[in-house]
Amino acid sequence: MSDEEDKAIVYVQTHGVDEPGKSATPFFLAAAAAAMDIEASIYFTMGGATLLKKGVAEEVMIKRGEGGQSLRFFMDQALELGVNFYVCQPSLDLHDLTMEDLIGGVEMIGGAAFNSMALEADAVISF
């Protein structure tokens, strides 16, 4: 049994479109965890929910070396590696969003579900 087997990390994304420079790190780290066969999830709450709105992440540019990639590139990479995306239901209400407004691959959960997920995870990291 490897050290990574059955490990889980939950990343909490609180930064949204109003702070694009702080929005990319959870995607990088979650993708890396998934590539290491660690169960990785990102929970979008507060402003973080705004990043999930269709068309938004394509407009957020993340500098990488000389060029840049859109945040959507890194979101897609994380999703393709099996990272789970969860959104806080009250945060959708806060930003007048519905599930239909969001990109695919996102599941809505409430506070109790998040708390259970956090208690079961080996680590919870907040951004």
Task: Extract the tokens encoding 3.
Answer: 């050290």
* CATH code of residue 96: 3.40.1260.10
**pLDDT score at 20:** 80
Pairing of the two strands 61-64 and 67-70: antiparallel
pLDDT band at 7 (very low <50, low <70, confident <90, very high): very high
Task: Give the tens place of pLDDT for each residue, 34-54.
Answer: 999 999 999 999 999 999 999
Asked, for residue 32, whether it belongs to a domain, the answer is yes
Asked, for residue 13, whether it belongs to a domain, the answer is yes
Asked, for residue 106, whether it belongs to a domain, the answer is yes
33 lies in which domain range? Answer: 8-126
Q: How many domains does the chain have?
A: 1
Q: What is the mean pLDDT of residues 63-76?
A: 82
Q: Which residues contact 83 (CB under 8 A, 6 or more apart)?
A: 27, 30, 31, 33, 34, 40, 41, 42
Let me know: does 123 contact 11? Beta carbons within 8 Å. Answer: no
Asked, for residue 3, whether it belongs to a domain, the answer is no
User: Beta-carbon neighbour count of residue 22 at 10 Å?
Assistant: 15
Asked, for residue 70, whether it belongs to a domain, the answer is yes
- For the chain, the distance separating the N- and C-terminal CA atoms, rounded to the nearest angstrom, is 31
Asked, for residue 117, whether it belongs to a domain, the answer is yes
Asked, for residue 1, whether it belongs to a domain, the answer is no
